[in-house]
Amino acid sequence: MTGKNFLFTSESVTEGHPDKVCDQISDAILDEFLTKYPQARVAAETTVTTGMALVCGEITADCYVDIPQVVRNTIKNIGYDGENGGGFDYKTCAVLTSIDEQSCDIAGGVNKALESRSDNADTSSQETHDIGAGDQGIMFGYACSETPELMPLPISLSHRLAYRLAQVRKQGILNYLRPDGKSQVTVEYVNGKPSRIHTVLISTQHDPEINAPEGNNICDNHKVQEIIKNDIKQHVIDYIFANESIGLDSETRILVNPSGRFVVGGPQGDAGLTGRKIIVDTYGGYSRHGGGAFSGKDPTKVDRSAAYAARYVAKNIVAAGLAEKCEIELAYAIGKAEPVSVMVETFGTGKVADDELTALVKNNFDLRPVAIINKFDLRGLPAKNGGKFYQLLAAYGHFGRSDVNVPWEQLDKVNDLKLQACSCECSCGCCN
């Protein structure tokens, strides 16, 4: 964010969006395997289209999981059930699977980190106490002071709108809605800070006809869209902005179903694929992204675990008052435990120099895969939450969540960072 005055937009999608259907299926499979066998290596990819779901990938585990049943249950819980699904149905869709074991070449390097080997080829067929990264790659974490959960305002509002859209459907408040939907919020920034809401956009799948209170069916699309717009404004948009410090004003644009009709949706309208909503999953484009998706990946994959750790680091730095904005970049080599690089960027808002913050991060956060897994109990979370954890994060974002007890959102490093920053003679007044 380099300009002082600008518009910034982020989007979210509901759990019924085809890509999010796939993310939830992949993470439901992950949850099931980790619940039964915490050491499981899982890379589950899903695609859905008209009348079909396909799961493929690599899974190594000492347990059995009925993958087709997990797929059908996930689709059912989203709401694709009979007529309510608008053409996609958990009972009748085909479920195909094509699963192999994890490559022994990858497993050997992950099981025993490069730092623990006598030479590069000294790999292990069994997991050791010090595992290496499951792949190379770069991961970013971010936090800022725009919201109480230290997330950018546009993505925070977009997630809440999308979640509310699903709530009013599932609770029967608006019983003509179908599972697919999207939200988008444009925020106007003045002097680099959120000033007003410029545009709110909701697109929601719906029945072709709406039952009127009088008992008759309204089938004229002009009237249907008018009802939808009024209902969405009242029950979704106004509901979310009722207690916001930056609310709607007379010039805020409200757009509801600007395509004019949204009856055909979900996997029947568009094919879906795991990992195609990585910006929705993270910071809404406000921060950089390394390109790696989360869903369907066990915690040895640093695309997931290191991104969680990077958010944890950034959030603690901002919460400690050391910066108003903080972005962390981590980079890993496959089979190597220690990150190959760590970078802190505070975009000119830091009370401590970025290189000094980088040193603080290295001294206070163990960013090896095994340390991240153990710190957040990433392998044990599904069993501790009744078999469902990662699938709960597969829609409405992995960061800033208050409805799920997410360990990487904890602020247990704030005091340590404050005290150690004082020795750097920072100007934030954190020692007072």
Model confidence band, residue 120 (pLDDT cutoffs 50, 70, 90): confident
Model confidence band, residue 432 (pLDDT cutoffs 50, 70, 90): low
pLDDT of amino acid 130: 81
Sign of CA dihedral 305, 306, 309, 311: negative
Model confidence band, residue 85 (pLDDT cutoffs 50, 70, 90): confident
> Tokens representing 285?
């484009």
pLDDT of amino acid 429: 56
Q: Per residue in 194-237, pLDDT tens?
A: 999 999 999 999 999 998 777 788 999 999 999 999 999 999 99
Residue 403 pLDDT more than 70?
Answer: yes
What are the backbone dihedrals phi and psi of residue 234, each rounded to the nearest 5 degrees, phi first?
-75, -50
Portion of the chain with pLDDT greater than 70, in percent: 97
User: What residue type is assigned to position 375 of the chain?
Assistant: K
What are the backbone dihedrals phi and psi of residue 430, each rounded to the nearest 5 degrees, phi first?
-70, -15
Question: Looking at residues 394-414, what average pLDDT do you find?
Answer: 97
Please state, as a whole number, how many other Cβ atoms lie within 10 Å of the Cβ of residue 409.
20
Question: Looking at residues 293-311, what average pLDDT do you find?
Answer: 98
Question: Looking at residues 120-128, what average pLDDT do you find?
Answer: 73
Query: Can you tell me the distance from the alpha carbon of 291 to that of 300, in angstroms, rounded to the nearest whole number?
Result: 17
Residue 125 pLDDT more than 90?
Answer: no
Contact 318, 351 (CB under 8 A): no
* Number of alpha helices (DSSP H) and beta strands (DSSP E) in the chain: 14, 13
Q: What is the 8-class DSSP label of residue 17?
A: S
Residue/partner pairs of 358-367 with CB below 8 Å, 24 or more apart: 360/417, 360/420, 360/421, 360/424, 361/313, 361/317, 361/328, 363/420, 364/413, 364/416, 364/417, 364/420, 365/309, 365/312, 365/313, 365/413, 367/306, 367/309, 367/330, 367/338, 367/339, 367/342
Cα distances (angstroms) measured from residue 264 to each of 206, 212, 255, 351: 8, 21, 19, 52
Contact 420, 356 (CB under 8 A): no
List the strands of the sheet with 94-100, edge to edge: 94-100, 52-60, 41-49, 272-273
Query: Can you tell me the distance from the alpha carbon of 156 to that of 397, in angstroms, rounded to the nearest whole number?
Result: 9
User: What residue type is assigned to position 166 of the chain?
Assistant: A
Please state, as a whole number, how many other Cβ atoms lie within 10 Å of the Cβ of residue 429.
10
Question: Looking at residues 252-260, what average pLDDT do you find?
Answer: 97
pLDDT of amino acid 427: 52
Query: Can you tell me the distance from the alpha carbon of 32 to that of 383, in angstroms, rounded to the nearest whole number?
Result: 9
Query: Can you tell me the distance from the alpha carbon of 326 to that of 311, in angstroms, rounded to the nearest whole number?
Result: 9
User: What residue type is assigned to position 259 of the chain?
Assistant: S
Q: Per residue in 17-31, pLDDT tens?
A: 999 999 999 999 999
Query: Can you tell me the distance from the alpha carbon of 326 to that of 310, in angstroms, rounded to the nearest whole number?
Result: 10
Residues 6+ apart with CB under 8 A from 24: 15, 74, 78, 295, 391, 394, 395
User: What residue type is assigned to position 361 of the chain?
Assistant: V
Residues taking part in catalysis: 17, 19-20, 45, 58, 182, 262, 270-271, 276-277, 297, 301, 303
Contact 325, 346 (CB under 8 A): yes
Query: Can you tell me the distance from the alpha carbon of 95 to that of 18, in angstroms, rounded to the nearest whole number?
Result: 15
> At how many degrees (to 10) do helices 414-422 and 302-319 cross?
60
Question: Looking at residues 339-358, what average pLDDT do you find?
Answer: 97
Model confidence band, residue 263 (pLDDT cutoffs 50, 70, 90): very high
pLDDT of amino acid 194: 97
User: Looking at the DSSP assignment, which residues form a beta bridge with residue 206?
Assistant: 177
Question: Looking at residues 315-327, what average pLDDT do you find?
Answer: 98
Residue 359 pLDDT more than 80?
Answer: yes
User: Looking at the DSSP assignment, which residues form a beta bridge with residue 54?
Assistant: 47, 96
Closest CA to 282 of 12, 39, 5: 12
Model confidence band, residue 63 (pLDDT cutoffs 50, 70, 90): very high
* pTM listed for this prediction: 0.95
Residue 360 pLDDT more than 60?
Answer: yes
Contact 160, 9 (CB under 8 A): no
